[in-house]
């Protein structure tokens, strides 16, 4: 599965590496960070569509999120 940033730019690394690097980068910059992973599904006819998102909420610095490419 390929992942992309909110701006549509594809991740150039695995999602595991991207999550790990984001956590390390933000913590090293002294930013308190919360990580949220969410998923939802919807049945359309005989197909189940699943949506997943990973959100990094940076205290007083906004958020970053990534999601699978469509």
24-33 confidence digits (pLDDT tens) = 988 999 988 8
Domain map of the chain by residue range? 3-68
Which tens digit of pLDDT belongs to each residue from 16-55?
898 898 889 889 999 888 888 889 999 988 999 888 888 8
| Range with the poorest average pLDDT among 13-17, 22-26, 59-63 | 59-63
65 pLDDT band, cuts 50/70/90, is low
Q: Which residues touch 55 (CB under 8 Å, ≥6 apart)?
A: 35, 36, 37, 38, 63, 64, 65
Taking the whole predicted model, whether its pTM rises above 0.75 is answered as no
């Amino acid at each position: 599965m390929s992942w992309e940033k909110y701006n549509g730019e594809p991740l150039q690394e695995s999602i595991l590496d991207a999550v790990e690097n984001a956590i390390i980068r933000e913590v090293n910059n002294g930013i308190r960070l919360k990580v949220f992973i969410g998923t939802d599904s919807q049945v359309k006819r005989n197909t189940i569509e699943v949506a997943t998102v990973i959100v990094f909420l940076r205290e007083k610095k906004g958020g970053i999120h990534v999601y699978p490419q469509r």
